[in-house]
Structure 1
Amino acid sequence: MTGVLVLAATPIGDVADASPAMVAALVEADVIAAEDTRRLRDLCRRLGVETTARVVSYFDGNEASRVGVLMDALRAGERVVVATDAGMPSVSDPGFRVVQAAIAEGIRVTAVPGPSAVLTALAVSGLPTDRFCFEGFASRKAGERSRALAALAREERTMVFFEAPHRLADFLADARDALGADRPAAVCRELTKTYEEVVRGTLAELAEWATGEVRGEITVVVAGATGPAGSVEDAVAEVLARVEAGERFKSAVAEVAAASGLAKNELYEAALAARKEPR
């Protein structure tokens, strides 16, 4: 008899959101793989849960090396529960590797559904929810982040991102430049917690707001592109016409890119090349 791997969603803020099924999963576990063992024990304390399970650390830094330990427990018929600090394991959190390994060996994988910052932010953002995509954390490196956002300029689905508070201003500024200053968005901070805050506006407005001190867990929701993108040729022509009329090159590129739905970086390179062509 092999065991079962359980992905248990934990509260993203308010401990009252913990489901009876999640509590039962902790009580019934033989092994609990916790992203932070101290937080897991504190959660159990607040829930009044007593567990006899072996609690092992399972975070980004040791996830790969812990898979073998967890798989041994599953092969021995034990019930292994994965619990991250908040939300569903494997969604921008540890869990994916052991899920893959368990599936490869035919071991049952199940989940205890529960709170999700992705869906909660999407629901309260006021942006379209019929089609959306989750982009997780953007790169810490400015160049990679800008290129990734530029590649999403024509994405028509609502986009959901996670971001660290100390990088939020840079992320929103890059999103403004790549997706357009007037693109609607929402910054969701400390969801379900005491100081929950949802700030809605354009990317330009949010980028300016974020230059102040922002704290807590951050989820950003950005509206998808609307309408067909204009042609690069027409956009380049408009940029050059604006420049000849006295407008600054970068400013012209930013405004035309936002209006046409084209990626700012793509239009910048095309317009720059056109300026260099002999007339």
Structure 2
Amino acid sequence: MKLKHFFPLLAGISLGASVSAASVENDMPYLTLSDGSRIPQLGCGVWELNGQEAYKSVTESIKLGYRLIDTAQYYRNESETYQAVLDSGIPREEFYITTKLNPSNGSSEKNIRDSLDRSLKNLGGKIDLVLIHWPFSNDEMAWRIMEEYVQEGKFKSIGLSNYSPEALRRILKIAKIKPVLNQVELHPYNSKYPTVAEYEKEGVKVEAWSPLGAGRQGLLRDPVIADIAKAHGKSSAQVILRWDLQRGIITIPRSKNPAHIKENISIMDFQLNDEEMKQIDALNRDDALWDI
């Protein structure tokens, strides 16, 4: 995997105008993962936010109805993210919390276990989903350890991030517990239809990081998306996130701007028609930050 642009590290097939795989609670669509767990399809990411910013962002997100919260060891804001969940007063079981193992903590079995235990401490002793943040030399060892944590009831589900189809198949060969999802860069300029199809063939859901292109490449100013947004009385960001939902993609936009956080979740009251979906699909350039 190679970073194609200078950019800090972050961390399938079109379903047409409706998400038949999703059930809806309070207008939020949920998807069912291969292990039977249910995950909200739209979440709050805290990449590149310091602890205080993450706390404020998650607090605001929770008020607006977000229940999927995505953090990572690499982000160094797990504790603040979880404190916002606690301070909300909403029962923990209503949330779906994801974190990621930092491969920098994967040099030995002891280091892997120690880092996972720190995440457990930071996030209240039980985590809904733990991902390996990107492939590394000891990731098969890490996967076996993560399987133990599932069997011990510490993690509900485990998965991957930034794994190519080939790297995914390598993990599948040694896995006793199957990855439930793969979190990858995905947006209209990097729509990943062929690779998403490969993931889904293995029963692995896809979650989009940088769904809005991280503000780069002029994606939010694309005239095709802008015209569709105007027709619906929505923003370009809202159209892109709606495109994700209708593809059956889980999506985790990140923002510390309260107006943007509200804008991102205000996408349950409209649908893109098949022609609009195709127009957005046609924007693909295979233009990715990460080459996987």
> TM-score, with normalisation over the residues of structure 1?
0.30
Which one scores higher on RCO, CA 8 angstroms, separation ≥ 6?
2
> TM-score, with normalisation over the residues of structure 2?
0.29
